[in-house]
Amino acid sequence: MSSIAATAGSSDHGHSAHGEDRLALLKAVPFWSTDHKVIGIQFLLTTILMLMVGGALALGVRWQLSFPWENMPILGALFANAGGQVSPEFYTMLFTMHATVMIFLVIIPVLAGAFGNFLIPLMIGADDMAFPILNALSYWIMWPAAFCFAASMVFNDGLGPNAGPAAGWTSYPALSAIPEAAPGSGWAQFWWLLGVTLVGVSSMMGSVNYMTTIINMRAPGLTLFRMPMTIWGMFITAILQAFALPVLTAAGFMLMADRVFGTCFFVPSGLVVNNAAPTVGGGQTLLWQHLFWFYSHPAVYIMVLPAMGMVSDMLSCMCRKPLFGYKPMVYSLAAIAGLGFIVWGHHMFISGMNPALGMTFMVSTIMIALPSAVKVFNWIGTIWGGRPVFNVVFLNCVAFISMFIVGGLSGIFMAAVPVDIYIHDTYFIVAHFHYVLFGATLFGVFGAIQFWYPKMFGRYMSEGWGKLHFFLSFAGFNGTFFPMHLLGVAGMPRRYADPYLYPYLEHLLPLNQFMTLSACVMGFAQFILIGNIILSWFFGKKAGRNPWNANGLEWTAPSPPGHGNFDIPPIVYRGPYEYSHPDRESDFWPQTEPPEAPKPVPQQDPEPAPA
Amino acid sequence: MDHAHDDSHPHVNYFGVFIALCICTAISVAFDLIEISPILLVGLVLAIALAKALFVMTYFMHLKFEGRWKFVVLAPTAVLAVGLMIALAPDMAMHYYTMDTPQSKMVVVTHGGDGHHSEEGDEGHHAEEEHASPSSSH
Amino acid sequence: MSHEHHPPALKMGLPIPNAKLGMWLFLGTEIMFFTAFIGSYIVLYFGSVDANGRSAWPTDTHVTHINILAGGLNTFILIVSSYFVVVAHEAMTLKDFVKARKFLWMTFALACVFLGIKSYEYYGKIHYDILPGHIPETAEQSVHKFQNNLSDTLDRKLNDLIPGDAPLHVKQLEVPTALQDAEGERLIQLKAYSALHSEFLKIREAISADKLSMEQAKVKLKQLQENDTYGHIVSGLRVYDPIVYGNLFSSTYFLMTGFHAIHVIVGMLLFGAALAVGTSLDEKWTDWVENSGLYWHFVDLVWIFLFPLLYIIPGNIGQ
Amino acid sequence: MKWFWCCFFTFWPILAVIVCLASPSLGWWFPGASASPLGERIDDLFYMILIISAITFIGTQAGLAYVLFRGAADTDKDPSHKAWFSHGSHELEVIWSVVPAFILLFIALYQMDVWAEYRVKDAFPQQKMRSVLERLGQERDEDSSLALAEVTARQFEWRIRYPGFDPETGDLLPLMPEPQATDLYAVNDLHLPSSSPVMINLKTMDVQHSFFLPELRIKQDAVPGLVIPIWLEANEQRTYQLLCAELCGWGHYKMKARFVAESEEDFLDYLHRLHEEQNYDRVENSEDVAAE
Ligand code: HEA
Ligand code: HEA
Ligand code: CUA
Ligand SMILES: [Cu+2]
């Protein structure tokens, strides 16, 4: 912990007077506040809560896969009746809601909602978002959405094996469009769709807000190519959201209408479902898949681009070295986003899509590895020749790179259509997306929590506990998800409540049990994270304005920043990655430091009286 | 309505634009009344719609007087909007595989209606008749 | 709204206020929203094929009860209202708030007219039961629908004649006793009912034996309607001709026009907010009027495309 | 501590590689060698991508380990020494975009044939499929369907329809799009001739399902409202697993069926057996039934 440890402590003392401020930010959390920092923290705490909910649902899934049809402890007693046994309907509901919670209430809101909100104004030197009220709404609308999801779990027969949406998070019709097709999903599916629409509205509000803020409210001197990668990531994510999400919202309305008003966009006529009368209709089910993936493929990049941005910033700071290839990094981010719009069909290779489309989508999908490759190599290049500090932030960032490579490479297998014929809808897919979603994004988020925590609360998080959390998460994660590749190759289909019905899968049971064990380790490791977050509020080492000796604008504001963020309006003179400049004494060069400064001042900290 | 000629910052003859839009609408409706080949009609009517849209955007929405950012905002949506439809077409509009629905097995004969505008006529739907080849699917 | 903190010379970004930029970006999202609807409509239109592999979309305006003149009128109304909005905004920038209010009011009124015409069209659809999920697509379904409608009519009549909560089949059993006790008008009604009911039973039997074609059903209904005793009960009934892909047609029609109408209502709310402040409308509202105006023009734009796509082109292409 | 983490990030890729190398022998690998020629080509493609990505994986992880170790060593040597001040290298950027670009383009183009053969109707081995039908003695005219059976998925079973025999000549009839009086039916039991390509039509009665033969590496969704042709060719005469691979409701996991690949004679025999079972009117038993 060379240079960081050396200087970080020095600014501690000046800010002990901020104690009052620090709590003020937190105290606002349960209430309506339009301050972007409060909203960011609200989002962060909510998503961590939801991570536990989604994780508990995942553990339910894992239970059934390793101890099929045995009574489930804890969760079983709570939810499933029939003596705690997981019924097939309940299993379907478990993985549907697991994915829903993780994607719509954890990953998307933690990136765009929590870090987007907290960081965008601070990193561009603005005092708040462009539309603070809209911003607050975009948080509070999460709760009705969460309520809808909860309602979708308890509707119909109440908490029970027959309740809940039963069509997976992809919600393919006709299963999702015809109530008779999934007995018990009656209103549940409707509530689910309503919930998705509401999170959609929330993200849409957020994205318009972020775009406006980033375009129009940058501090003087902060040109586009001086923006930190985090901001680029958030900006491009917002663009993706803005242009892809409305399509899903529209499709969601169509599906809702199919269920409720008797329309038939996704229901062909003449289907005999569950011995009911043949359907009256005329629509096409594939239309939903196209519209859904037109959003949800860009959405997977929504779930990773901000993390890529944050990792770039953290890596550069932790290695005390400029980001390797800043412009290629920006362009590749944009290229991923652009290509991301034209690859959605790779989820539909074997869905009866026109084969010519299949080929087109294969080529575009494989080519998306190119900008990703540029990013990976540039991250490695950033560490190369740097002076890394092996702290929790850095470890999580390295894990991000390492895991993203695995998840990305498995993406190539699936992008190759002939191979996808075999591995589609097997656990290979499940492995792939957990590697990118948890392995990459969540580790990035863990790092980001550690990194910006001092800015949020004015205190450091514990390094020791952080490392333990990292170690257990990493080991548990790989223990859970690496074997899924092998299950996939062995042909184990996903969304199976009982794969062992098939002789050729029987011998995979022990492996599955090992994975469940690892999942428990990983799951319980998250308690360490939560403990670390809570305890550090009270006992963490106090941090000054710039605990990591970083260059970004956010570090020139007090920790935690008061309302309006900056006590001195920042003016930007350079990019955010001028670490270890050979002509300077200190190994960092804040963006706001005027170039004509007669003597390099190591610690730029004018100690203004707190407001 | 001549008071529209007030001069404000961008000098636009809003009333003129308005008249142009009305004329376009009238032409569209006129196409409906005259005999004209369907393909020509589709082309013309869509062209007119596009023209109207451009009128509204350039003058009423003041895009003519905005900076280059307008392209940055509008070009991606335009490309995506058209692209989405083009990408949907091979699957949804043309069918690579045989359809297997009752409708797709019927032969629909339309005895083209005699006139256009007997609005909400007294009888029910009367012009179209289908000769469904006896739906033998079930 | 927008915070302009930095001196303009140092301001980064675009030379337009945040609110306007935000509105434009929002309109970008709206374009994609309607693209999903309109795009789906177009591909479904061409994809709804019959045995010849050609689109069998119901296009005849007599069948679909699409009224091109009503659509054209609505186009005109939206254009006028768009024009009024620009005039109102111009008046705002010139600080002529009286004039601005006048034009905002007129816009608001025109939006109401638009919705009125829209409801008239909807009413026509509802009247002919061109509603998603209700439309028979084969002769068989037409006949069944006729049977169901007849049965519903009878049930309603029965409930009128024998009020109470008892289930229908119980009431049915009470009819003979009621017939004995009744006199005067009630007796006539009851007789009509039971005569019709026995006709209904025959029809039902014929239908379940597949012995009533649609043409026969029409003749039958005509006979029923001409009957002096019970003709009046069934006077409102109709044997609906089947419309192939009618359900999909009405789904898309209601989806697109419905969401457009919702946007119109939102626009009215935006203008309503500016009008609600009454005479205290002042320059603080200029941005509001401008941005609501942008939104309103977008609503107009959507309609400009819906009009040819829903009204003119299908109405002419089918023949 | 930092050395521990360097080793940590080096160790796990090594472990991953070892696990992968060991897994075939532990049974965590393909369910047997591919049982169809197309499947063999799919496997080959899989292995090709596996090799490319293994090289990439090892390469990038080794690179990562190298920079970590080097970084750790540097901070050890001279704590006051600053990091390398570099904003990147144009040449490197070009190299590491162009090289992967070629590799990726190669992967993409190399897949096309197999995909076309599997999915593009004109590229199906129609000649071979026709000759099987001829050997089975099917009366054919030019445009009768090449499909030998129609598989209809439904919650939660597979229904199979075979063409029947001509009541007069006893010849096998072609499969008609609409059910015929002569058709033969079976549930969850698909029989087809082996060792030559045969085609089936895939349909669904209700929601979306997916026809999955893991040993043959074949998978195709059954889409409501569409008839999708699939062709397959089993190398061996034996019974294979048939699963459903697309979520189709609570019973998705139990849409278990079997696919029996047999010789052409056995297949005809099977059809004859089906024919007899179906036309067997239980006359002798009718009294027993009435007695009950
Ligand atoms: C954060 C989320 C995320 C990310 C970033 C990605 C990234 C990628 N994904 Fe993934 N994907 C998902 C989330 C994500 N995916 C989810 C959630 C699903 C399943 C949804 C469901 O069905 O429920 C899915 C499903 C999915 C499928 C569908 C599979 C199926 O259902 O049959 C496919 C198919 O092509 C695919 C491909 C890819 C590719 C090619 C990338 C690429 O972007 C990866 C590029 C990165 C690299 C390749 C690594 C780095 C590069 C190098 C080291 C350079 C050298 C490499 C080579 C020369 C090969 N993904
Ligand atoms: C960001 C997204 C995300 C994340 C983080 C995760 C995390 C996890 N997922 Fe998730 N998963 C998805 C997204 C995600 N998943 C998606 C999109 C699907 C597809 C669904 C579909 O097919 O439709 C899926 C499907 C899926 C399946 C496949 C189900 C199937 O197809 O049948 C499995 C099976 O093992 C699984 C397991 C796990 C596990 C063990 C974790 C672990 O990482 C979780 C670790 C646990 C915690 C972080 C919480 C710890 C909390 C506690 C320990 C509290 C316990 C309290 C009580 C019990 C009261 N997931
Ligand atoms: Cu059928 Cu899954
Ligand atoms: Cu994807």
Q: Is D115's CB within 8 Å of A417's CB? A: yes
How many Cβ atoms from other residues are within 10 Å of residue D144's Cβ? 15
- Token reading at A115: 């870090």
How many Cβ atoms from other residues are within 10 Å of residue C194's Cβ? 19
Q: Is B90's CB within 8 Å of A354's CB? A: yes
Please state, in angstroms and rounded to a whole number, the distance separating the CA atoms of residues D206 and D248.
Answer: 9
Task: Indicate if D19 and D64 belong to the same structural domain.
Answer: yes
Residue C149 has pLDDT above 50, yes or no: yes
Query: Please, which pLDDT band fits residue D188 given cuts at 50, 70 and 90?
Result: very high
Give the single-character DSSP code of D137: T
Residue A514 has pLDDT above 80, yes or no: yes
**Residue at B129 is within a domain:** no
Which residues 6+ apart lie within 8 Å of D209 measured at CB? Answer: D153, D154, D221, D222, D244, D246, D248, D255
**Residue at A593 is within a domain:** no
**Residue at B114 is within a domain:** no
> How many angstroms separate the CA of residue A567 from the nearest CA in chain D?
31
Query: Please, which pLDDT band fits residue A454 given cuts at 50, 70 and 90?
Result: very high
| Closest of D249, D258, D218, D160 to residue A502, by C-alpha | D258
Which residues 6+ apart lie within 8 Å of A331 measured at CB? Answer: A371
Of the ranges A1-15, A27-41, A256-270, A596-610, which one carries the lowest mean pLDDT score? A1-15
> For A309-320, what is each residue's pLDDT tens digit?
999 999 999 999
pTM of the model: 0.92
Mutate which of A176, A292, A300 for ligand 1? The one with the most ligand atoms within 8 Å of its CB, which is: A300
Residue C34 has pLDDT above 70, yes or no: yes
Please state, in angstroms and rounded to a whole number, the distance separating the CA atoms of residues B13 and D216.
Answer: 71
At A498, is the secondary structure helix, strand, or coil?
A: coil
Number of domains making up chain B: 1
Residue A604 has pLDDT above 70, yes or no: no
Structure confidence at residue A22 (pLDDT): 57
- Most confidently predicted of A2-6, A583-587, C302-306, D178-182: C302-306
- Most confidently predicted of A121-125, C58-62, C186-190: A121-125
Q: Among D45, D207, D245, select the one facing A493 at the smallest CB separation.
A: D245
Number of domains making up chain D: 2
Structure confidence at residue A12 (pLDDT): 37
Domain of residue B67 covers: 14-93
- Token reading at D26: 């532990």
**Residue at D287 is within a domain:** no
CATH number at residue D215: 2.60.40.420
At D42, is the secondary structure helix, strand, or coil?
A: helix
Q: Is D29's CB within 8 Å of A362's CB? A: no
Which residues 6+ apart lie within 8 Å of C155 measured at CB? Answer: C168
More confident: C178 or D255: D255
Q: Is B137's CB within 8 Å of D178's CB? A: yes
φ and ψ at residue D22, rounded to 5 degrees: -80, -25
> For B55-109, what is each residue's pLDDT tens digit?
888 888 887 777 778 888 888 888 999 999 999 998 888 889 988 888 888 887 6
Residues of chain B in contact with residue C124, where contact means CB-CB under 8 angstroms, are 120
Q: How many DSSP H helices and E strands does chain D contain? A: 6, 10
Q: How far apart are the first and last CA of chain D?
A: 83
Q: Among B76, B84, B103, select the one facing A282 at the smallest CB separation.
A: B103
> What Cα–Cα distance (Å) separates residue B4 from each residue in B17, C19, C89, C169, C215?
11, 26, 11, 69, 60
| Closest of C40, B69, B57, C297 to residue A246, by C-alpha | C40
Q: Measured from the CB, is residue A492 less than 6 Å from ligand 2? A: no
Which atom of ligand 2 approaches the CA of A96 most closely? Answer: 23
Query: Please, which pLDDT band fits residue A607 given cuts at 50, 70 and 90?
Result: very low
Element (H, E) at C188: helix C184-208
Mean pLDDT on C303-310:
91
Structure confidence at residue B122 (pLDDT): 37
**Residue at A282 is within a domain:** no
Number of domains making up chain A: 1
Query: Please, which pLDDT band fits residue A13 given cuts at 50, 70 and 90?
Result: very low
| Closest of A355, A346, A368 to residue A290, by C-alpha | A346
- Residues surrounding ion ligand 4 at CB below 5 Å: A 297
Query: Which one-letter amino acid corresponds to residue A218?
Result: R
Of the ranges C27-36, C54-63, C108-117, D158-167, which one carries the lowest mean pLDDT score? C54-63
Buried (b) or exposed (e) across C71-96, using 16+ Cβ within 10 A?
Answer: bbbbbbbbbbbbbbbbbbbbbbeeeb
Q: Could you tell me if D246 and D172 are in contact, meaning their C-beta atoms sit under 8 angstroms apart?
A: no
Averaged pLDDT score across all residues of chain C: 86
Task: Indicate if D133 and D205 belong to the same structural domain.
Answer: yes
Residue C69 has pLDDT above 90, yes or no: no
Give the single-character DSSP code of D18: H
**Residue at B75 is within a domain:** yes
Mean pLDDT on A395-410:
95
Structure confidence at residue C8 (pLDDT): 36
- One DSSP character per residue, A269-328 reads TT---TTPPPPP----HHHHHHHHHHHHHHHHHHTTHHHHHHHHHHHHHHTTSPPTTHHH
CATH number at residue A389: 1.20.210.10
Mean pLDDT on C182-201:
84
Of the ranges B126-135, C147-156, D164-173, D274-283, which one carries the lowest mean pLDDT score? B126-135
The answer to whether D and C touch (≥3 CB pairs < 8 Å) is no
- Token reading at A477: 């994660």
Residues A140/A141/A142/A148 CA torsion (nearest 10 deg): 130
Q: Do strands D147-154 and D198-204 pair parallel, antiparallel, or not at all (unpaired)? A: parallel
Mean pLDDT on C55-76:
86
Structure confidence at residue C231 (pLDDT): 82
> For A420-449, what is each residue's pLDDT tens digit?
999 999 999 999 999 999 999 999 999 999
Structure confidence at residue D284 (pLDDT): 59
Please state, in angstroms and rounded to a whole number, the distance separating the CA atoms of residues A473 and A491.
Answer: 27
Query: Please, which pLDDT band fits residue B7 given cuts at 50, 70 and 90?
Result: very low
Q: Could you tell me if A353 and A288 are in contact, meaning their C-beta atoms sit under 8 angstroms apart?
A: no
Domain C59-134+245-317 has CATH 1.20.120.80: yes
> For D86-116, what is each residue's pLDDT tens digit?
888 888 889 888 999 999 999 999 988 899 9
Averaged pLDDT score across all residues of chain B: 72
Written in H, E and C, the secondary structure of A556-604 is HCCCCCCCCCCCCCCCCCCCCCCCCCCCCCCCCCCCCCCCCCCCCCCCC
Residue D52 has pLDDT above 80, yes or no: yes
Task: Indicate if D275 and D248 belong to the same structural domain.
Answer: yes
> For A278-292, what is each residue's pLDDT tens digit?
888 889 999 999 999
Task: Indicate if D38 and D154 belong to the same structural domain.
Answer: no
Q: Measured from the CB, is residue D246 less than 6 Å from ligand 3? A: yes
Query: Please, which pLDDT band fits residue B124 given cuts at 50, 70 and 90?
Result: very low
Residue A31: asked if its preceding bond is cis (omega within 30°), the reply is no
Give the single-character DSSP code of A219: P
Domain of residue D247 covers: 125-279
Residues in chain A: 611
φ and ψ at residue B107, rounded to 5 degrees: -110, 115
Please state, in angstroms and rounded to a whole number, the distance separating the CA atoms of residues A398 and A470.
Answer: 11
Please state, in angstroms and rounded to a whole number, the distance separating the CA atoms of residues D224 and C59.
Answer: 25
Structure confidence at residue A156 (pLDDT): 60
**Residue at D142 is within a domain:** yes
Q: Is D58 exposed, middle or buried (0-12, 13-18, 19+ CB in 10 A)?
A: middle
Residue B24 has pLDDT above 60, yes or no: yes
At A103, is the secondary structure helix, strand, or coil?
A: helix
The ligand placed nearest to the CA atom of residue A408 is 1
Query: Please, which pLDDT band fits residue A488 given cuts at 50, 70 and 90?
Result: very high
Query: Please, which pLDDT band fits residue A11 given cuts at 50, 70 and 90?
Result: very low
Which chains reach chain D with 3 or more Cβ–Cβ distances below 8 angstroms? Answer: A, B
Domain of residue A14 covers: 2-268+288-556
Q: Could you tell me if C216 and C109 are in contact, meaning their C-beta atoms sit under 8 angstroms apart?
A: no
